[in-house]
Each structure stands twice: as structure tokens, then as C-alpha cells.
Structure 1
């Protein structure tokens, strides 16, 4: 699949300090009936944002306009729980371009990066400094592995293949399919 290349991202910070936010909180299971991307923004953090009767709660997330670009600065162990790929889809559809945390759950991080949602794990001191900075503009340089927000600078690492896919704007399958000519040459050389 083709994605937009992600070299740098710049957007305002939205902080969500809660630790251990699981994928069922990000996208409740009852919304997992679709395999289409682009339609899950309204369901993102649904049970935090809406009462059972459909009226809005007082949660800070309701101050954001769905689809408006933001960078989510999340609490420790973000995306834990089940391995649903819908979680990064919902976050992207809601407008989050990246998640910055001290630690993201492994499966969530993998699913996010495959879907061009950048996940940056940074040191605790830098993370703590960002937690009271709602609205501060942040720039994430994917190639350099660095975030800059005001006077806060922090490093992060991405698995090299994931970084390549983000920068080239492809998912893992798209990357492999783009190597078609090289694969044909290799196979032709092995056939002899």
C-alpha cells in the first residue's frame, strides 16, 4: 500500500498523561466491524468522549476537531492490550500524526508504524517536560530520530526498516512489491 512519505511532521501537541491506555480504550471492540480505513475518527476514544446516550462528555479530547492534525503525547505503556490494527487507524482518522511516549506496547507500535503512524519513545525527563505543553508546536524528524518542541529536544529510534517505509511512503508489502525487478533478476540468476 502507498502512504504519504513521512520525513518530518509538525503539529500542535495534545497531552494524554494516562498510563496503560489499551487498544479497547482507543477503539472499543464494537467498532471493529470495518476493514476500511478513513472512517474510524468518530470512534476514536469513543467511550471517553461520549455518554451512552450519544451526548458528549467533558473530556478534553472533545476540544479537538476530528481530523485536525495533532501529535499525541501519551502516558507510559500506550497501546497495550489486544493487537487490533484498528487502533492506529482510529488515531490517524481522528487527526493524530504521531504518538510520543516513554513506552508503547510492542504490537501497537508495530501496527502503527505499518500504517504510517509514527511512534516515538523518548526519555522520561523530556516526556515529563512535554506533559504540560498542550498546543506547543512539535516537529518530528523521522530520518534524524529527533523531536523538537520549543526548548525541548529528544532523541528516539525506529527500527530501520520501519523508518525506510515511513520515509518512502510505503507499507512493508508495498516495499517488497517495489522490489519486483530486483526479485526477477535474482530468480533468473538462480534458475540457471
Structure 2
């Protein structure tokens, strides 16, 4: 997973509340399991009509401007727990989402996949959205700040979540980094005491 340290980018604005995971990644695409290429399905029903024709929309306009930051409203990513909702956002090019609140599972999936979720109060989100209509935002995870023009705002994120993103750890990477030495010591002892557990199976 690619580490996240900082990002300066135009903004995609999706300011309505309760944009759920079925809007982000419609259920009819759930049988597609690979992550690469999923960005084409991000908010598909807002970008393509029922006959498969592209529609003018702010999502593709933001992508053309190189938007890597998304600003939403309340409960962004609520609904079902499908992890593809985060996969499609990241493949679309978004690596930071700023919202008033998130669906709990969606927020956890962001951290597992290298997307920074930032929770801010409604007034601050609105202020950033107003600036982001025409300007770029800068997000610095090292300093835990967002810069909008001359204004610098602090945001909160747990030390654990921050470390995971800064070091690019998924679940496996986090376990290996923190307990890898202990796991190796255990395996060496077990291999010596119970070598048959490590013999190849005769199939």
C-alpha cells in the first residue's frame, strides 16, 4: 500500500448527506473483485445514463482537473460494508475524503486501503468546500493540517491510524511490523519442537 504523507489537489465536491456505499459503488458491480479499473464505476449512476451514455457531471469534471480530495457531508459511506466502495474511490484518484462524519466500516476501510478520512465540524467543512470550488487544498498528515490559501486548520486523527497511513501498512503489514520478530521466534521454536507441522503434505 502506498504511504500517504501529504497532498495538494483540486477538490471534488459531493456535499449532500448520507451518500451511501451503493451510490459510491452500485451493487450490480459487486461481482467484479479486482481492484484495478474500479474507478470507472465510482458513482456510476451519476455519470452514465441508463443506456450507458456519459452525462455531463461534476465528478468527471473534477477528475479532469486532477482532484484527489473529496469533500462530502454527513455519514459519507454509510450503508453496506462493501470494501469496493473505497477501492473505487482510490482507483478514481481520490486519496483523501473530508466529511462531517463517516459510516464506521467505510472509515475503517479507508485506513486499510491508504485513503485518509478526515472528520471536521460542519462549519469548517463548508468553509473548505467554498474555498475548494476554485482553489486547491493542501493536506499534510505529518503535521495534521489542512491549508486553504492563507488559512491553516488542524485536524484530528489517532496516532495508530496516522502511523498506518504514513507507513503504508495494510492489516498484514501492520502485524508484521509490530510483531514480526515475535512471530518468527515462535515459528522457530515450534519448528524445532513439532517439525512434522512444517512437512509438505503428500497429496
TM-score between both structures, scaled by the size of structure 2:
0.84
- The equivalences for 1:1-192 within 5 A come to 3-65=1-63, 68-132=66-130, 133-178=132-177, 179-185=179-185
Instruction: Report if the CA contact (8 A) 1:85-1:111 is conserved.
Output: yes
Counterpart Cα distance in 2 of 1:149 and 1:63: 21
Q: Which runs of 5+ in 2 are unaligned?
A: 190-203
Contact 2:10 2:66 in 1 (8 A): no
In structure 2, the CA distance between the partners of 1:117 and 1:37, relative to structure 1 (3 Å rule), is: same
Does the Cα contact within 8 Å between 2:97 and 2:117 map onto a contact in 1?
Answer: yes
Distance 1:170 1:30, change over 3 A: same
> How far apart, CA to CA, are the structure 2 residues paired with 1:8 and 1:90?
21
Superposition misfits of 4+ residues, deviation over 6 angstroms: 186-189
Once residues 143 and 182 of structure 2 are traced to their aligned partners in structure 1, the CA distance between those partners, rounded to angstroms, is 28
> For residues 34 and 124 of structure 1, what CA distance do their matches in structure 2 show?
35
The structure that has the greater radius of gyration is 2
Structure whose residues are more often helix by fraction: 2
Displacement of 1:30 after TM fit? 1.0
CA RMSD of superposed structures (Å): 2.4
Aligned pair in 2 of structure 1 residues 135, 13: CA closer, same or farther (>3 Å)?
Answer: farther
- Mapped partners of 1:66, 1:173: distance in 2: 34
Alpha-carbon distance in structure 2 between the residues aligned to 1:48 and 1:159: 34
Q: 1:139-159 CA distances to partner (integer Å, 9 max, x unpaired)?
A: 111132221121343322223
Deviation at residue 135 of structure 1 after TM alignment: 4.2
Question: Which string of whole-angstrom CA distances, capped at 9 and with x for unpartnered residues, describes residues 146-180 of structure 1?
Answer: 21121343322223222111111111211112332
- Structure 1: how far apart are the matches of 2:162 and 2:58? 31
Aligned equivalent of 2:200: none
User: Is the Cα–Cα contact under 8 Å of residues 11 and 139 in structure 1 kept in the other structure?
Assistant: yes
User: Quick check: 1:113–1:162 contact (8 Å CA) kept in 2?
Assistant: yes
* Segment drifting more, 72-81 vs 146-155: 146-155
Contact 1:126–1:152 under 8 Å retained in 2? no
TM-score (norm 1): 0.88
Structure 1, unmatched stretches of 5+, are: none
